[in-house]
Amino acid sequence: MIDNDGNSTYNSLQAHISKRLSHGVTGQFAYTFSKTLGDTTSTNTYRDIRDLSLSKSLLSIDRPELFQWNVAWALPVGRGKDFLKNAPKWLDEVVGGWNVSSAFQWQSGVPLTFTAGTVGSYVSTFSYLAVNTANLAGTLPSGMSQVVKGNGFVSYFQGLSSQAAPLPNFGGDPTLPGRFTNLQVVNSSGQPVLVNPSPGTTGNTAYYLPGVRGPSLMGLNASASKAFSIREHWTLTLRADAVNLTNTPQWGYNSTGTSGVLGINTNINSPSFGRITSASGNRLITFYARFDF
């Protein structure tokens, strides 16, 4: 039986300030503080279809904080303006009549989960395949959510690393230990922090853990333009647009800046646990020239 049994809730505080055009300045500022919970992390991924509460956690779209602004300003410089109002014509042609604008966004990182393999597949037209989570066996170190640049790689989860887990008995079968590949995550003292759940059980951590997030996303775009009047009905407009003006790397995000979860290895059974495998955010500056006649 397939039915619509998912549930999610979204609660937020939203603030918005708008500056109407005056003295050549207009802009908008917005801030959102929110929380998004649900029991379906994505399509058809329940850990136990008979107990949906096991799947309730933060949703992958949860971003507790989001701050945005956009501002446009006709600079008050040049003839008849507040600054250099008596400038000679040649100087006014250089410094007067410029328009600048900017758009800024900062948001919390993507919520993360520590995975530990797969817990089952119901073979049918619809495949209900869920990823299991790890067991929390210790205390997660404070300040672990930091980007660390290594020699040829970038890692996350400072103070955590993966190592071989103790071999279980396997009921005395001597052939199974050689195929046992489970790892565990330990802290800097070698104490287990994240381990695999016992066979047939689900992990004791949520799909997306509160307080465990990927790097935040920040972007500042800007532009500047000026129109030069050459003669009657002849105008030359110069413009420059900059995307990610600060050239800040967006660690763990793809080229569209939307897929933060896939860019950080959170599988405790992977030797490359904690590695950041994607990034975006190269600065891009584009220059335009337009002649109207």
Each residue's pLDDT tens digit, 189-216: 999 999 988 877 788 888 888 889 999 9
Per-position b or e across 248-268, b if 16+ CB within 10 A of its CB: ebbbbbeeeeeebbebbbbbb
CB–CB of 68/18 below 8 Å? no
- Does 37 or 252 have the greater pLDDT score? 37
Instruction: Work out the percent of the chain whose per-residue pLDDT is above 70.
Output: 84
Q: Is the pLDDT of residue 24 over 50?
A: yes
Residue 257 pLDDT: 46
Q: Is the pLDDT of residue 217 over 50?
A: yes
Take residue 134 and report the two structure tokens written for it. Answer: 């790890």
Q: What is the mean pLDDT of residues 241-266?
A: 76
- The angle formed by the CA atoms of residues 220, 225 and 228, to the nearest 5 degrees, is 175
Is residue 147 helix, strand or coil?
Answer: coil
Residue 105 CA to residue 184 CA, distance in Å, equals 37
Report the run of H or E that residue 95 belongs to, with start and end: helix 89-95
Predicted TM-score (pTM) of the model is 0.78
Residue 49 pLDDT: 67
Residue 281 pLDDT: 82
CB–CB of 76/23 below 8 Å? yes
Is residue 178 helix, strand or coil?
Answer: helix
Q: Is the pLDDT of residue 125 over 60?
A: no
Q: Is the pLDDT of residue 165 over 90?
A: no
- Does 76 or 207 have the greater pLDDT score? 76
CB–CB of 60/261 below 8 Å? yes
